[in-house]
């Protein structure tokens, strides 16, 4: 895998290559792959992942830099004229459930 990631990076320096890994806490694959790639983006499922599980996932990846976290599957409905409600931004406005949980 090291050779593959190195070859892809050298052959296609002008491209973004995305590796989709299984959930961090489900297998060791994501944690093993993480040091071989340039950046890690953690995808977290809203309303399903506890803060404890998110902290555990981040702990399993503490040996690599996290470029960002994406909150996935958030349910949103526009309410009032709060900033962002017309554009689909979460920010806690108009959500049907608390935005404090997350997964993957």
Domain count, the chain: 1
Q: Which domain holds residue 12?
A: 2-39+49-67
Q: Is residue 32 part of a domain?
A: yes
List the pLDDT tens digit at each of the 104 positions of the chain.
899 989 998 999 898 888 999 899 988 888 889 999 888 999 999 999 999 999 999 999 998 999 999 999 988 765 555 555 555 555 454 444 544 444 44
Buried b (16+ CB within 10 A) or exposed e, 69-92: eebeebebeeeeeeeebeeeeeee
Token look-up 């608390």 returns: 98
Q: Is residue 74 part of a domain?
A: no
Q: Is residue 60 part of a domain?
A: yes
């Amino acid at each position: 895998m090291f050779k593959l990631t190195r070859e892809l990076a050298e052959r296609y320096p002008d491209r973004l290559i995305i590796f989709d890994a299984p959930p961090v806490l489900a297998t060791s694959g994501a944690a093993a792959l993480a040091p071989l790639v340039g950046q890690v983006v953690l995808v977290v499922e809203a309303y399903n992942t506890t803060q404890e599980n998110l902290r555990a996932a981040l702990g399993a990846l503490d040996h690599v830099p996290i470029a960002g976290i994406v909150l996935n599957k958030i349910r949103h409905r526009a309410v009032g004229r709060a900033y962002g409600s017309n554009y689909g931004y979460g920010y806690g406005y108009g959500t049907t459930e608390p935005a404090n949980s997350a997964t993957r």
